[in-house]
Amino acid sequence: MKYYIGIDLGGTNIKAGVVDESYNIIAKASVKTACPRPAKDICDDMAKVSEMAAKEAGISIDDIEWIGIGTPGIADNINGTIPYANNLGFRDVPVREYIQAYINKPVYVANDANAAAYGEFVAGSAKGAQNAVCITLGTGVGAGIIVDGKILTGSNFAGAELGHMVIGVDGPQCTCGRKGCFEVYSSATGLIRMTKEAAEADPASSLNRLYDENGGKFSARHAFIAMREGDASGKKVVDTYIKYLAAGIANTINIFQPDILCIGGGVCNEGDPLLVPLKELVKQEVYTKMLAKNTEIVIAQLGNDAGIIGAAFLGKSV
């Protein structure tokens, strides 16, 4: 049996998992990222948490084939560096060099959204596809693109930023500096913003009751809950959200024509009330709607484990 280590480097936690050749996570370990602090200290902790995970799995670090790292920001796998990760304060960090000072194994690095997409590609809802796109609807809109089994990174290792494709010129301001980005409308953050606006515009809406019951804040679920209660404002928010999500997904399909497009994130827990109308809208809008075969839209399967599994198998993506 062969074993690999996948590291999910986040702004809050550094999580490592030992993954076997059948894509099973057999042990995990984690430590706090404790930002801000020197990049070398964080890399040292990635090496240490790898050793912790191996020990938890009952194997030696010598039994590991390689270490893969999914990181926020831009990841240069050719040179083994992280050129830029704003939320970690990283600039030109030689992550491979730092890790190999502790563990003499091959080290691979990818953007965290790309690593999660690769996890779904090798072991999740996109398994068996040749070309796939995975979109995560979280605080922002993250994405990973797999073409002919390889992660598409672009010439500067910053490809697949689908969240910053504009779908509404002069729309709401995005954190990237543009207006009307896919992320502004289709992230959980965007859904919460639209829910808040709808509640303020309709004091009689049950959205306001849900807001009070939730301690004075909205979640991405509240519009769907209100819709199921028969609330008109809640339904309008859901319909608007799905309309924008369908536009972004149709654009993505028109560009890449993947075999499978999977969507993940907490919003996807809504299931059919999200997926059924979404698929219908996309079916109407894609350029290839007249063809017998079109991209299959599915819900991601691996959840929070996608990043660890994808990172663990980065050695097969190069």
Q: Which CATH number fits domain 128-300: 1.10.630.10, 3.10.20.90, 3.40.50.300, 3.30.420.40?
A: 3.30.420.40
CA distance 161 to 110: 14
Q: What is the C-alpha to C-alpha distance for residues 74 and 51, in angstroms, rounded to an integer? A: 25
**Position 242: which residue type?**
I
- Spatial separation of the C-alpha atoms in residues 190 and 193, rounded to whole Å: 5
pLDDT by residue, tens only, the chain of 318 residues? 899 999 999 888 999 999 999 999 999 999 999 889 999 999 999 999 999 999 999 999 999 999 999 999 999 999 999 999 988 889 999 999 999 999 999 999 999 999 999 999 999 999 999 999 999 998 889 999 999 999 999 888 988 999 999 999 999 999 889 999 999 999 999 999 999 999 999 999 999 999 999 999 999 999 999 999 999 999 999 999 999 999 999 999 999 999 999 999 889 989 899 999 999 999 999 999 999 999 999 999 999 899 999 999 999 886
Residue 128 φ then ψ, to 5°: 95, -10
In the numeric block, which tokens belong to residue 240? 């608007």
3-122+305-316 and 128-300 have identical folds: yes
**CATH class entry, domain 3-122+305-316:** alpha beta
Domain extent listing, the chain: 3-122+305-316, 128-300
Cβ-Cβ contacts under 8 Å for 281 (sequence gap 6 or more): 242, 243, 246, 250
